[in-house]
Amino acid sequence: MKALLQRVTGAEVTVDGRVTGRIGQGFVILLGVGGDDGEKDADYLADKVVNLRMFSDDNSKFNLSALQIKAELLVISQFTLLADTSRGRRPSFTEAAPPEMAEKLYNYFIGRVSETGLKVQAGVFGAHMLVSIVNDGPVTIMLDSKDKLA
């Protein structure tokens, strides 16, 4: 499972002209689910997202976590994070989970980060979305559950 974190001062997602999620300071989380991912991958990434120190303290050092600043989270499904571009000119998405499985783990991840008490908003799984982001920094970091230590 992959999560692309973008630190933002604000963001919103719209589907068919309707806002489905809007946040202030926090993270936009683009979440891609792989075919071999499970709940342990989502648990790992949920814990990493809320505890990773990506917000600046008074000395402009990355010392504060989303939990510490009460960040807001906007979670967007993003199967294209699993693209394989190693061959040819058209990306392959064979590593991405089938939609039914991906949606289940996407919703599970949203549940896990919601349990922290942070405000969590989301896009609409499988929909064509327009995401407006005011990237802060810019600060963007890729997380991959395969990087966890065994």
Q: Which residues are catalytic?
A: 78-80
> 20-30 burial, b for 16+ CB within 10 Å, e for fewer?
bbebebbbbbb
Say whether 108 sits in a helix, a strand or coil: helix
Rounded Cα distance, 126 and 142, in Å: 21
CA dihedral 39, 42, 48, 50 (to 10 degrees): -110
Rounded Cα distance, 59 and 57, in Å: 5
- Residue identified by tokens 């920094």 is 137
